[in-house]
Each structure stands twice: as structure tokens, then as C-alpha cells.
């Protein structure tokens, strides 16, 4: 299969390089239409660029054409006859580097923060570029604009548009291939996890800020190439070539084409490059601008009705039908077999320790693993957690109970690094991790689940199992983008583990199903499988039995003991299901109004008067 | 020096007004309305038709323009935002980009890109203060800005409905419990944000005398900068942020007056936003630390 992909690429390369020049010479492709098709290729490249940022990573840029401008002017300065006069290929590479660099510089302050700051910064960039930077005499020759040369092969200059179109198509193919590599690597999974849920991404070890920035930098490099192509195609650019409105048009292209869909976005880009011209040709200039009116209305409709993009909703429809069919078939096949009960958790697989992690010292059970000291968290004036301390020893299952609003999940978030406590310390394996961000704590050996399921719910089960192995995907960005070096080999290992886990969980038939289409109990099983996949030192579970049938909860108790006794993991568990807690826990902590109320053996703790008073309400009879 | 300060404050008051609308939508809906500026431009075109073409009094034209702007804001909320209760806030913001593009395209279609002029609300030459000619419109704009800001602040702090607006994005359940319907809060912030934009555009317009499609979107960017300076969630912060942006912009224009680089003001805005995000991401005027932000 890999081989066929490479062959397809080579075949396309040859076709793209050969067809336009031949068609041009044979008279099938006039210079005018070649120019228009060149514009379409530019838009497609720009669309891929914005799609990578918006469709994959869920961040918006409203000034993307400014980055195209950066590419065009850079390329012009590098290759221009009266500028540096460097070869075309150097100019294109320079445009990519500069596009990425500017993206890095303006993305760094904006992407550390959550929310819409990147949109704000990119609007500002768009105006600053159009009105100031691109008009400076050093960069563009001031108001007169800048001329860009066509590339040369030997002494042959590609003055014909059809000839240059071939070059552009080849460049687009390169961008396309890189984009495919992004989606097939940990980068694409990290981007999509960030788009779905930043906290979940971080708990799987994804450095959210770094990956958001990476998405913008790659997107900026793509934009640089797209802009350079635009410049060399028209052989002239000025500050007005890269205005705010074009950036907005690009947003329309990406949303209508379908967020995250390469082919959809490219199609929409080609349409928006060719359609207005064709309509004006057919119906006269009265049609001018109508494409934008229709496009913007469609954008509002599409985003309101199908916020994930048209492509996604189509894909989803297909998959939902497929899941239904699979369910029906499974029911018909094995009537009444208890193992097909969706909520019942199968025996969890013992996965070999991932090769990317350092070999663990064989420490005996009972040695201290997690130590939380005097942690306090407040929101505004409200103290959610007040000087709470707890210890977890290796090889134990430790329960954390308390009434709703006692601060259990907040304490969990403070331990796993999702919120920064006002005071207190957290030590894992004797190492102070109080200052580490969530993703670094995941790397240090913490795995956790969430009350509302800590998975990237838009992604398939397999994709989640791959995402969960982010901490052991030890290859670099360059290798991921080119698929040269370690990336291919390591991805192969990850895929193998994912498919082993699928099999062990008995979820093969849901391999490509988006997690959100599974039942709650099934999602819970996948989540646990994901967390255990990288064998974390400490497994933190936030109400795993919530929403499960009573029978399933008993089954859960068995599996939790498996996790402790057979997989040798340590568990910290938030639970409301007291019978389950009494059944599996070695020790129990009770949190009430943010303060640690009691600690001890489960049987003793639940019979203490203050615990009954604060939480249980009545004596527990066991 | 004094001249720069006065010019900066006059411009900054307008930016502050835009920023108030931005913070209002952000507090009430948790997102940004990127069309807000262009709704202001649309208001200008409405006023232009009524005042310059139909020869109605300025006040009547302005009133209809503000009402039309509010109507567009409310319509967008009803037709689009309300469908997106479960969508991400980013998706809602992208929807507002659609509205921005729509308004721009319609304005270009009807009025083309040629510059139009709307007369000032009050005639007269004005007085010279510290070497700057301050027109009656300047004074009016400052007064209206302060009045609107104080009025909004009173409404938000002292009425149940206002408190509902302030809490809507953070704690929708609590808002419902106090008996404030969320749907009305949402309609209010989108409508009021749009109306404030139109008001701001009408007040700034005479100082630069001409406008084209896209005119107020450029001012809206300054409003965004002001809101960021103020921390995005704080109303006083937004207003002060507006003054800061105005003064910094005017100051940069003065300091680099000899520079050959064109469009320095827009470059200043970019640098200012980046600097604030880098140094004081919660805004120069510290905003609220909300539960959601912390989690």
C-alpha cells in the first residue's frame, strides 16, 4: 500500500509537470486560462494552509493573506533581477521559511492563551502589513509595487503561463504530500485533540501551546509558498494584493470546502478562483461581487448547521449508518451472549512497556509514589480546595470520596496540572512536579480519566489509541513532515500497539468509529484502555462508574483489581459508588468543603460520625 | 505633547466605545463578533442615505442607523448564534466573519468603493485647546462616550438583568436561577454591541469626513486592541484601554513623524497588541479570573 502511494505521487508528478506545457503548446490551454488556473492553484495552496490551522488545530487566522504577502515579497527580494537574483527554488524556500517565521513571531504571544487571541492578532497583522510594511520602499518599492521574475530552467525562462502552471502544480503536490504526512503523524492527532479538547490533549502529554504554535508555523510556511507562487504567476504584487477581504474569502473557502477536508477545501478554492470570472464572462460585470454575497450567506448557514464542516457531517452520516449495521449484525450473530453486553469491560490487556520510556526501577509495593501537600485552589473568592494533603503508595488503590462540590475534581486537576494551585506541592516518585504543566506530568508518568470521558471524541477509536501514545512517539517534527527517518518506523509500532489493544478490548469492529458514536460505557472502556496503554505510574480515575449499569460496576471492580494486581499499577480513584469503593480500595480519603476530613482504612472511615454527617447521610451497613 | 494627548484621547474615546461593545458580547456570549465594526459602517450608509440623500435631520438619520444596526445584531443572534448553543465559541466567531463578509460585499455592491461624506452632527468651527482645534463634534463624542459607558456600567451592576449579562458566559445555570432568561441576555448583548458600534462610527465619522465600505472595521480593530489592553472582560478596562490605544497611536505618530515608513498607526496597533499579550496577557487593567479560564 505504501508503495502504491509513492507510485501515485510519482505518476501525478509526471502528469502535472507534463500536461499543462503540452496542452499550452497544442493550443488547448490559452495563456488567459492558464493564468486563471494558476490563480486556482494559489487559492488551493492557501486553502490547505488555512485548513491546517483551522480545520485540524481549530485556531482561526483572519489575516492569512498577509502571510501570503510575506511569502511573495520575500520571494521577490530573493529572486528579483535588481534585488538578490537568487534561483527560484531558493526564493520559494525562503518564502516558506519567512512565512513560518512571521507566524511564529505573532503566534507566540497569542497562542499561549486560550481563545480567540490569534484571530485578533492576525487582523492586526493584516492591516499593518497592507498599510505599512508592504508599502515600505525597502520591501516593495513603495506604492509602485514589486516585480517578480518567472523561474528559469537553464537559460529557458518560463514566460508562458502554461509552463509556469506546471511548476505550481508540482509545488501544490509537495504541500499536499506534507499535509498528508501531518495527518498521518502525531502532529495531526495532537492538532485535532487540541481542537476537540485542550485539557484532554494535555493529559495525553500534548504540549498544547507548542503544538498550536507548530500548526500556525507550518500553516505560515504553506502560506509563504502560496504567496510566492501568486507573485511569480502575476509577476507583480503590491500592498493591495494581500488585503483583508482576501483573507476573509479564504475563511469562506475553508469552511464551505469542509474544515479538515483537503480535497473539499481545494475544490472550493478552485471554484472561487474560476467561478466569478466565468460568471462575469457569461453574464457581464453586473455579476461582480455576487459570489461573495452568496458565499458569505452560505458560510453563516454552514457554520450554524454543520459547525464541523460539510465534509465531516457527510463522513459522520456514513459512519453512523455503518455503526448501526455493525451493531445489528453483531446482535443477530450472538444473541444473548453476555460478553457482547456493551458496558461490560473485558479483561484489560497487559501491554508491554513502550520502548520509548525509560526502564522503571522495580520498586516494591508500598513505597511512596504520589505525595500531595497542603494544596489550595480558589476561584475568585471561593476556596475550592483548602490545604488538602494526601499520599498514595505504590501498588495500592486509593479512593477519594466526598459530597458533590467538595473539590474532588479540582484537586485532581491540581494534581494532574490542569490548574495551578495557589499554594502547596505535588511530588511524584520523590520529584517535585508542582511547577510542571499538565503535559509534562503526563510524560512523568501520570495518566487520568475525566468525568465526561477524556477522549478526543471527534476522532476514531484507533486514532484515540494512537493519540494516547503521544508520550512515546519519539520522533521529530522534520521526520513527521517528510516521513523520512524515525517517524514511519515508530508510527508502525504505535499502530501495532493500537491494534493489539483494540483486539484485547474486543473493539475491532469500532476501529474507525468516532468515539462520540459509542455508548457511554463503551467510551469509558476505550478511555481506560487509552490511559493504560502507556503504562503510567499513577492511574487517576474520575468517577469511572458514573453512568454505568450496576452489573457493569461490579465488573469494573474486578478490572480495577486487575489493574493493581496484574498490571502492577497504582490507582487514585474518585467515586460516589460506596460499595465499589469499599470493595476495591486499600485506603480512603474523604474531602468535604475543600478540606480533607478523614483518612484511613475504608471500613473505619465510612463508619466515622463526621464522615456520615458530611457525606453519607446514614450509616453504611456492610 | 498636549496636542498629542488631546488627539489621542479624542480618538481613544471612540475606540473605547467599540471596546465596550466587544466586551459586552464577550461577557454575555463568550465570543467575539467580528462583524461589529462593519455593522457600524452599515449604520453610516443608512445615515448617509437618510441625511444626505433624503435630507432628513441628522438626529433622525442617526437614530434610524443605530436602530438598524441593533436589528442586524439581534437578527444574527436569532438566526445564527442561537443555533450554535452547543458549538464551540470559535465556530460562532467564524459565523460572525460570514456576517462581516456579507455586509462588506453588499455595501460594495450597492455603494461601490468610492468615498462618501456624512455631515457632522453639530456645525461650527470649534475652539483651540493646547494648539488643537477641538470641534463641537469632538466634544459631543467624548460626552456621549462617557455617558454610554457610565449608563452601561450602571445597568450592568445595578439591575438583575445586567448582572445576568455579566454572569452569562461564566455561570449560565446561576443566571437562569436568578430568573434572567439567557435568550434575552444573548439577544441584548448582540444587539447592544451592534448599536454601540453604529453610535461610535457616527461620532468618529466627521473627524475624518469620508468613509468607504470597511471603514469602521478598521476602527473596530482598535476597539479589539483596546479590549485586549483592558483584559477582554472588564468594562472600565475596555474604556481605559481605548484611551491607551488612542494615546499610544497618536504618540507613535508624533515620535516617528520623520520616518519614511507609511501606515505607522496600524503597525503601532499590532505591536501594542503583541506587547500586551506578551507582558500582561490578562490585560493592563486586570480582568476577572474566571473559573473557566483557570481550568
Mean pLDDT by 10 residues, chain A (622 residues): 77 90 88 93 97 94 96 94 89 97 95 89 94 84 82 87 94 96 95 93 95 97 98 93 92 90 92 85 78 90 78 66 66 46 61 54 75 90 88 93 89 92 92 92 91 90 94 90 90 90 87 89 89 89 83 82 86 90 92 90 87 72 49
Residue A521 located in a structural domain: no
Between residues B119 and A464, which one has the greater pLDDT? Answer: A464
**Which CATH number goes with the domain that contains A546?**
3.40.50.300
Q: How many domains does chain B have?
A: 1
Determine the Cα–Cα distance for residues A513 and A505; give it in Å rounded to an integer.
15
Residue A411 located in a structural domain: yes
Question: Can you give the residue range of the structural domain that contains A597?
Answer: 368-445+536-616
- A120 vs chain B: nearest CA distance in angstroms? 7
Residue that is last in its domain, among A244, A275, A300: A244
Q: Are residues A548 and A406 in the same domain?
A: yes
In this predicted structure, what is the pLDDT of residue A545? 86
Residue A359 located in a structural domain: no
- Closest chain A residue to the Cα of B84, Cα to Cα: A304
Residue A482 located in a structural domain: no
Using the beta-carbon criterion (under 8 Å), do B31 and A116 form an inter-chain contact? yes
Question: Can you give the residue range of the structural domain that contains B181?
Answer: 2-289
Q: Which residues of A touch B283 (CB under 8 A)?
A: none
Give φ, ψ of A86 to 5 degrees.
Answer: -80, 160
Between residues A467 and B262, which one has the greater pLDDT? Answer: A467
Nearest to B106 among A123, A245, A293 (CB): A293
Residue A360 located in a structural domain: no
Cα-to-chain-centroid distance, residue B58: 21
Determine the Cα–Cα distance for residues A596 and A388; give it in Å rounded to an integer.
6
Residue that is last in its domain, among A222, A244, A266: A244
Using the beta-carbon criterion (under 8 Å), do A413 and B289 form an inter-chain contact? no
Residue A531 located in a structural domain: no
In this predicted structure, what is the pLDDT of residue B228? 93
In this predicted structure, what is the pLDDT of residue B294? 34
Residues 6 or more apart whose CB falls under 8 angstroms from that of B206 comprise B118, B119, B120, B121, B135, B137
Farthest CA pair distance, chain B = 59
Neighbour-count burial of A338, counting CB atoms closer than 10 A to its CB (0-12 exposed, 13-18 middle, 19+ buried): exposed
Using the beta-carbon criterion (under 8 Å), do A299 and B98 form an inter-chain contact? yes
Q: Name the average pLDDT for chain B.
A: 86
Q: With a cut of 60, say whether residue B267 has pLDDT above it.
A: yes
Residue B129 located in a structural domain: yes
Counting one residue from A and one from B, how many pairs have CB atoms under 8 Å apart? Answer: 170
**Which CATH number goes with the domain that contains B102?**
1.10.3470
Residue A510 located in a structural domain: no
Residue that is last in its domain, among A194, A209, A244: A244
Q: How many domains does chain A have?
A: 2
Q: With a cut of 60, say whether residue B67 has pLDDT above it.
A: yes
Residue B295 located in a structural domain: no
pLDDT tens across B181-210, in order? 888 889 999 999 999 999 999 988 666 568
- B58 vs chain A: nearest CA distance in angstroms? 30
Nearest to B224 among A123, A245, A303 (CB): A123
Determine the Cα–Cα distance for residues B260 and A143; give it in Å rounded to an integer.
12
Between residues A315 and B264, which one has the greater pLDDT? Answer: B264
pLDDT band at B293; cut points 50, 70, 90: very low
Question: Which residue, B141, B116, B105, is CA-closest to B12?
Answer: B141
> A interface mutation test: which of B277, B286, B291 has the most A CBs within 10 A?
B277
pTM of the model: 0.91
In this predicted structure, what is the pLDDT of residue A60? 93
Check residue A375 and report its DSSP letter.
Answer: E
In this predicted structure, what is the pLDDT of residue A154? 81
In this predicted structure, what is the pLDDT of residue A113? 83
Which percentage of chain B shows pLDDT scores above 90?
46
In this predicted structure, what is the pLDDT of residue A339? 39
Question: Which residue, B249, B186, B247, B196, is CA-closest to B220?
Answer: B196
Determine the Cα–Cα distance for residues A554 and A564; give it in Å rounded to an integer.
16
Q: Are residues A372 and A232 in the same domain?
A: no
Using the beta-carbon criterion (under 8 Å), do A303 and B281 form an inter-chain contact? no
Amino acid at each position: 500500500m505504501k508503495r502504491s502511494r509513492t507510485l501515485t505521487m510519482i505518476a501525478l508528478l509526471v502528469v502535472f509537470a507534463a500536461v499543462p506545457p503540452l496542452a499550452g503548446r497544442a493550443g488547448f490551454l490559452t495563456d488567459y486560462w492558464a493564468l486563471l488556473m494558476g490563480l486556482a492553484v494559489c487559492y488551493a495552496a492557501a486553502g490547505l494552509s488555512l485548513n491546517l490551522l483551522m480545520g485540524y488545530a481549530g485556531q482561526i487566522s483572519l489575516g492569512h493573506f498577509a502571510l501570503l504577502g510575506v511569502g511573495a515579497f520575500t520571494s521577490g527580494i530573493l529572486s528579483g533581477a535588481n534585488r538578490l537574483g537568487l534561483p527560484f527554488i531558493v526564493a520559494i524556500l525562503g518564502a516558506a521559511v519567512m512565512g513560518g517565521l512571521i507566524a511564529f513571531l505573532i503566534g507566540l504571544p497569542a497562542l499561549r492563551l486560550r481563545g480567540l487571541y490569534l484571530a485578533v492578532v492576525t487582523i492586526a497583522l493584516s492591516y499593518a502589513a497592507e498599510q505599512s510594511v508592504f508599502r515600505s520602499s525597502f520591501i516593495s518599492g513603495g506604492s509602485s509595487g514589486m516585480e517578480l521574475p518567472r523561474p528559469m530552467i537553464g537559460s529557458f525562462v518560463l514566460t508562458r503561463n502554461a509552463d509556469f502552471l506546471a511548476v505550481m502544480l508540482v509545488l501544490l503536490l509537495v504541500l499536499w504530500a506534507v499535509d498528508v504526512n501531518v495527518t498521518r503523524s502525531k502532529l495531526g492527532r495532537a492538532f485535532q485533540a487540541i481542537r476537540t479538547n485542550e485539557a484532554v490533549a494535555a493529559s495525553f502529554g500534548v504540549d498544547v501551546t507548542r503544538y498550536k504554535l507548530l500548526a500556525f508555523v507550518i500553516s505560515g510556511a504553506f502560506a509563504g509558498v502560496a504567496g510566492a507562487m501568486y507573485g511569480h504567476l502575476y509577476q507583480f504584487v503590491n500592498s493591495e494584493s494581500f488585503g483583508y477581504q482576501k483573507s476573509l474569502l479564504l475563511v469562506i473557502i475553508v469552511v464551505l470546502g469542509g474544515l479538515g477536508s483537503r480535497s473539499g477545501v481545494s475544490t472550493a478554492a478552485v471554484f472561487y478562483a474560476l467561478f466569478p470570472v466565468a460568471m462575469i464572462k457569461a453574464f457581464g460585470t453586473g455579476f461582480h461581487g455576487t459570489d461573495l454575497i452568496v458565499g458569505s450567506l452560505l458560510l453563516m448557514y454552514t457554520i450554524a448547521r454543520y459547525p464541523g464542516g460539510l465534509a465531516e457531517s457527510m463522513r459522520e452520516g456514513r459512519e453512523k449508518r455503518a455503526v448501526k449495521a455493525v451493531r445489528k449484525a453483531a446482535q443477530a450473530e450472538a444473541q444473548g451472549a453476555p460478553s457482547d453486553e456493551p458496558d461490560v469491560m473485558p479483561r484489560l490487556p497487559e501491554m508491554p512497556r513502550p520502548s520509548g520510556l525509560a526502564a522503571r526501577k522495580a520498586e516494591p509495593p508500598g513505597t511512596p509514589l504520589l505525595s500531595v501537600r497542603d494544596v489550595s485552589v480558589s476561584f475568585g473568592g471561593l476556596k475550592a480546595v483548602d490545604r488538602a494533603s494526601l499520599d498514595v503508595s505504590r501498588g495500592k488503590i486509593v479512593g477519594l470520596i466526598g459530597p458533590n462540590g467538595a473539590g474532588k475534581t479540582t484537586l485532581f486537576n491540581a494534581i494532574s496540572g490542569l490548574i495551578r494551585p495557589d499554594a502547596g506541592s505535588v511530588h511524584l516518585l520523590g520529584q517535585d512536579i508542582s511547577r510542571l504543566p499538565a503535559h509534562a506530568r503526563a510524560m512523568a508518568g501520570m495518566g487520568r480519566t475525566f468525568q465526561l470521558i477524556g477522549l478526543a471524541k471527534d476522532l476514531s477509536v484507533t486514532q484515540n489509541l494512537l493519540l494516547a501514545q503521544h508520550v512515546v512517539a519519539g520522533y521529530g517534527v522534520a521526520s513527521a513532515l517528510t516521513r523520512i527517518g524515525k517517524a514511519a518506523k515508530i508510527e508502525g509500532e504505535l499502530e501495532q500497539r493500537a491494534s493489539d489493544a483494540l483486539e484485547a478490548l474486543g473493539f475491532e469492529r469500532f476501529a474507525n468509529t468516532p468515539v462520540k458514536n459509542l455508548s457511554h460505557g463503551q467510551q469509558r472502556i476505550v478511555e481506560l484502555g487509552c490511559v493504560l496503554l502507556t503504562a503510567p505510574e499513577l492511574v487517576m480515575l474520575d468517577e469511572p462508574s458514573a453512568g454505568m449499569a450496576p452489573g457493569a460496576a461490579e465488573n469494573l471492580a474486578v478490572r480495577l483489581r486487575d489493574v493493581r494486581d496484574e498490571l502492577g499499577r497504582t490507582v487514585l480513584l474518585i467515586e460516589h459508588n460506596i460499595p465499589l469503593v469499599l470493595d476495591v480500595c486499600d485506603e480512603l480519603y474523604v474531602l468535604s468543603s475543600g478540606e480533607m476530613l478523614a483518612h484511613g482504612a475504608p471500613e473505619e472511615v465510612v463508619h466515622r460520625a463526621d464522615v456520615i454527617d458530611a457525606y453519607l447521610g446514614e450509616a453504611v451497613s456492610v | 505633547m498636549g496636542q498629542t494627548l488631546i488627539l489621542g484621547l479624542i480618538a481613544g474615546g471612540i475606540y473605547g466605545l467599540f471596546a465596550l461593545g466587544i466586551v459586552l458580547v464577550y461577557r454575555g456570549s463568550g465570543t467575539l463578533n467580528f462583524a461589529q465594526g462593519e455593522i457600524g459602517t452599515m449604520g453610516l450608509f443608512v445615515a448617509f442615505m437618510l441625511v444626505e440623500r433624503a435630507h432628513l435631520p441628522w438626529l433622525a438619520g442617526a437614530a434610524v442607523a443605530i436602530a438598524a444596526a441593533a436589528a442586524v445584531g439581534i437578527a444574527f443572534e436569532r438566526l445564527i448564534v442561537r443555533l450554535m448553543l452547543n458549538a464551540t465559541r470559535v465556530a460562532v466567531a467564524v459565523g460572525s466573519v460570514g456576517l462581516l463578509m456579507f455586509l462588506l460585499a453588499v455595501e460594495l455592491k450597492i455603494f461601490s468603493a468610492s468615498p462618501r461624506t456624512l455631515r457632522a452632527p453639530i456645525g461650527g468651527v470649534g475652539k483651540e485647546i493646547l494648539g488643537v482645534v477641538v470641534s463641537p463634534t469632538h466634544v459631543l463624542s467624548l460626552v456621549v462616550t462617557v455617558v454610554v459607558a457610565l449608563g452601561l456600567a450602571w445597568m450592568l451592576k445595578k439591575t438583575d438583568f445586567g448582572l445576568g449579562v455579566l454572569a452569562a458566559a461564566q455561570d449560565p445555570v446561576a443566571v437562569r436561577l436568578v430568573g434572567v432568561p439567557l435568550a434575552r441576555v444573548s439577544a441584548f448583548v448582540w444587539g447592544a454591541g451592534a448599536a454601540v458600534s453604529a453610535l461610535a462610527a457616527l461620532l468618529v465619522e466627521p473627524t475624518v469626513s469620508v468613509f468607504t465600505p470597511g471603514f469602521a472595521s478598521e476602527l473596530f480593530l482598535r476597539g479589539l486592541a483596546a479590549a485586549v489592553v483592558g483584559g477582554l472582560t472588564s468594562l472600565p478596562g475596555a474604556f481605559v484601554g481605548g484611551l491607551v490605544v488612542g494615546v499610544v497611536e497618536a504618540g507613535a505618530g508624533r515620535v516617528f513623524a520623520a520616518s519614511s515608513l507609511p501606515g505607522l498607526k496600524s503597525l503601532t496597533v499590532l505591536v501594542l497588541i503583541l506587547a500586551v499579550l506578551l507582558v500582561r496577557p490578562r490585560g493592563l487593567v486586570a480582568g476577572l479570573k474566571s473559573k473557566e479560564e483557570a481550568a
